[in-house]
Amino acid sequence: MTPHHPIGVFDSGVGGLTVLKEIRRELPAEDLLYVADSGHAPYGDKSPLQIEARAVALTEFLIGQGAKAVVVACNTATGAAARLLRSRYPVPIIAMEPAVKPAVALTRSGVIGVLATRATLASHSFGALLARVGAATAAQVLLQPCPGLVERIEAGDLDGDFTRALLADYLRPLLARGADSIVLGCTHYPYLRPLIVEVAGTGVAVLDSGAAVARQVRRRLESSGLLAPAGCHGTERFWTSAHPAAGQELVSRLWQTRVTLEPLPAGWPADSLAIAAGRAT
């Protein structure tokens, strides 16, 4: 593996583009590979084993494409699979952590709301994060699963009436209980930031962890001697597990540049369960 190899990034769909954008900002010289697993989104209502299977398949794909590091740009996949991926692959695996710690440092009301998928909130790693943070603080952390929101974003509906109403239903109970900091525990949700501010008002802080993860990617590459030489001009390549024609417009819109979305190689998604099943042997 050399500094000239690319960084691989994946998510259940287009949400990880919010993290990819921060990685591009932090590391302009790096070549970036992105897989949107939109053919299998949402992950949030799947079992841990199903999510793990997808995470393994996509990590294998990215490593097969020469990735020198893999970023799990999905909180749900982090909760289900980050430990397994780290134990299994020799490349640095960088994963998500909802911004609960910064929210605790910021809150004045002492009440924090976390929006995330059901699977993330139920995961061992999220529970461990709360236990670590809880040990150091008296803040009250309110957990709000948000079924349906990822589907709205995958459909490209970032500001329609239905998305607004769904989001308001999830936010209002948190605001009514005094939350003054909202943690976005899903990488899709930063696309809803304008709507969140509209519903919650500008006095409420909205935190995501994309920039922190991008800094962590830099640190891991630096410490492994894998950082691309300054002065290179990084490129991006995008794949999807859904039909590329269906995602092309949305990915281009969210990336704010016309991109070519490639299909994952035939058979790849179908192989994923077999790959994950192999872990037990």
Nearer CB in complex with ligand DGL: 12/107: 12
Of 38, 59, 76, 181, which lies in the binding site for ligand DGL, with binding defined by CB under 6 A? 76
Strand partners, 141: 112
Residue 188 in contact with ligand DGL, rule: CB under 6 A: yes
Which are the catalytic amino acids?
Answer: 74, 186
**Residue 43 or 227 having the CB closest to ligand DGL:** 43
Q: Min. distance of Cβ 4 from ligand DGL in angstroms? A: 29
Q: With CB under 6 A as the contact rule, which of the stretches 26-34, 57-65, 121-129, 184-192 interacts with ligand DGL?
A: 184-192
- Is 114 or 174 the residue whose CB approaches ligand DGL more closely? 114
Q: Is residue 187 involved in binding ligand DGL (CB under 6 A)?
A: yes
Q: Minimum distance between the CB of residue 37 and ligand DGL, rounded to whole angstroms?
A: 8
The residue within the footprint of ligand DGL, chosen from 103, 111, 186, 250 (CB under 6 A), is 186
Buried/exposed code over 251-262 (b: 16+ C-beta within 10 A; e: otherwise): beebbeeebebe
For the bound state, the minimum distance from the C-beta of residue 153 to ligand DGL, rounded and expressed in Å, comes to 9
Q: 200 to 219, contacts with ligand DGL by CB under 6 A?
A: none
Tokens of 243: 């039909």
Does residue 144 touch ligand DGL according to CB under 6 A?
Answer: no
Our finding on whether 184 is near ligand DGL (CB under 6 A) is no
Nearer to ligand DGL, 75 or 107 (CB): 75
Minimum Å gap between C-beta 109 and ligand DGL is: 26
Q: Which of 8, 10, 11, 30 binds ligand DGL (CB under 6 A)?
A: 11
What residues line the site for ligand DGL (CB under 6 A)?
11-13, 15, 41-44, 74-76, 117, 120, 150, 186-188
